[in-house]
Amino acid sequence: MKAFKIHLTPSQRIILSFLLVILVGSLLLSLPISQVPTSTASYWDHLFTTVSMVCVTGLFTKAVADTYSTVGQIICMLLIQIGGLSLVGFVGLFALRGGRKINFMSMATLQEALNRSDTKHFRSFLKSVFGFTLAIETLGAILLSFHFVPEFGWAKGLFTSIFLAVSAFCNAGFDNFGANSIVRYVDNPLINLTLASLIIMGGLGFSVWFDLHTQLGQKHHLPKLGFHTKVVLGLTATILGLGTLLTLLTEWNNPATIGQLSFGHKLLASFFQTVTMRTAGFASIDYTQAEPITLLIYIFQMMLGGAPGGTAGGIKITAFLTLILYARSEILGLPHTNFLGRTIDSLTIRKAFATFSVFLLVFLAGLFALAITDKHQPLLFLVFEVMSALATVGVTANLTPSLSMAGQAVIMALMFFGRIGPLSILASLALRKASKTESLQYAKSSMLV
């Protein structure tokens, strides 16, 4: 951690670490050894792919399978893994394993990178993050190999399984099949359910898994899950259930998506789309053929994202719940914002409002910019693309490769902003202490709203 200068804030360290990985990754992918002989990708395409992988999004201008060799795809996996767990987390793990002490500023950087609010059991938490990630990705790869080894043979089958497992758990959404994601496997339960499980586990957040592991490991008493864990698990189940039902209703008779599938396969496809919209980026249907109302539902799901402290993006489901609960308490004139026998503190409410406000402003700015650079594209597809990039989802209505270079630059900026987090970027630009003028309290006044 000494490589970072002391005067940098934790947010600035995180931003610089991601920028460094993007620069190095784009250069490595542009090497001839990283590309197939038939590759037509330019450095701009490599840069776009690297940004998307480090920001675990899934959008691309050139398909991985058509561009990168085995060496290049290994680099892609490393970029996705680093993006999912953050470079800062890797450096912290190596420091801990080496027995080195981590100073206060470095610890603050690690906490912010992994969205951990306290230092209690932080060392064991950090180690468990990497151990859990390796275990789940290995299990996912083994399950996927039962299909891909018979289809592609041992070498390619195992490699494909590992690539997909890493990509799914990190919520990156990249595959090494081609430009159509997993559309051809829309009716395959093993592939769909395995990828969906990896996506969900990565999107729950490491704090939830740490709590589950700690509590379920207690042999002498019943597990007592934390409030955050209960909320995340409940919200996740509710969103997945409602999302699946809505997709079934809106796409039931659409022959271009799920209309011609059996009921079981319709249910499977609807469930998978709901899971992948929580920032995964895989697609088992063609979104250009989906009903407009379905795309609007997906846009909302992308905005929600997953849980904090994991590999998911969006405003986070806990932030959305906080906003809804606060609005309810204000409408009913309640003195406190309560939920499940707990009162949500004012700091959490302010953070939720700040996150949503900045996210909405950046979304509108990105949509405005893209509507100017690529005004010939359908507006609904542009909205879908902007939300997908900002929420680091990675699904697209086949729009990304056809965007202008200026439009692709907008998408890259949105992906980076969405991965780092609006609050982290704003905090890195802010002064350490408020000025005397900003700290003053003036005479109170009312404003009509």
pLDDT classification of 3: cutoffs 50, 70, 90: very low
- Name which residue leads in pLDDT, 102 or 383: 383
What are the tens digits of pLDDT across the range 421-438? Answer: 765 655 555 544 555 666
Tell me the C-alpha distance between 308 and 205, whole Å. Answer: 6
**Confidence (pLDDT) at 93:** 58
Q: What is the pLDDT of residue 306?
A: 85
Please state, in angstroms and rounded to a whole number, the distance separating the CA atoms of residues 219 and 225.
Answer: 14
The pLDDT of residue 100: 57
pLDDT of residue 199 exceeding 50, the answer is yes
Does the pLDDT at position 95 exceed 60?
no
Confidence at 112, pLDDT banded by 50, 70, 90: low
Place of tokens 């359910």: 193
Does 17 have pLDDT greater than 90?
no
Question: Smallest Cα–Cα separation from 418: which of 305, 334, 325, 321?
Answer: 305
Query: Nearest to residue 239, comparing CAs of 316, 342, 308, 309?
Result: 316
Angle between helical axes of 87-97 and 122-152 (0-180°, round to 10): 110
CB 54 within 8 A of CB 71: no
Query: For residue 110, what pLDDT is reported?
Result: 58
Confidence of residue 12 (pLDDT cuts 50, 70, 90): confident
Whether the predicted pLDDT of 361 surpasses 90: yes
| Mean pLDDT (whole number) for 104-122 | 57
Which residues contact residue 42 at a Cβ distance below 8 angstroms, ignoring those fewer than 6 apart?
Answer: none
pLDDT tens per residue, range 282-303: 989 999 999 999 999 999 999 9
Tell me the CB-side half-sphere exposure of residue 121, using CA atoms within 13 A: 8
Would you say residue 237 has pLDDT above 90?
A: yes
User: What's the average model confidence in pLDDT over 79-107?
Assistant: 65
**More confident position, 91 or 420:** 420
Judge whether residue 88 has pLDDT over 60.
no
User: What is residue 330's predicted lDDT score, i.e. its pLDDT?
Assistant: 92
pLDDT value at residue 178 = 79
- Three-state DSSP class for 141? helix
d(CA 228, CA 50): 33
- Cβ-proximal residues to 431 (8 Å cutoff; 6+ apart), any chain: none
Which of 111-120, 328-337, 350-359, 404-413 has the least mean pLDDT? 111-120
| Count of residues making up the chain | 449
Average pLDDT of every residue of the chain: 85
Per-residue pLDDT reduced to its tens digit, 138-182 = 999 999 999 999 999 999 999 999 999 999 998 888 999 877 888
Total-model pTM: 0.88
Residue 7: predicted pLDDT: 65
- Please say if the pLDDT value at position 400 is more than 80: yes
State the average pLDDT over residues 190-217. Answer: 84
Is the pLDDT at 344 greater than 70? The verdict is: yes
Please say if the pLDDT value at position 134 is more than 70: yes
> Mean of the pLDDT values across residues 94-116?
56
Q: Tell me what the mean pLDDT of segment 409-432 comes to.
A: 74
* Residue 2 exposure: Cα atoms within 13 Å on the Cβ side: 3
Dig out the tokens for 427 from the structure.
């905090």
Distance, CA of 57 to CA of 281 (rounded, Å): 7
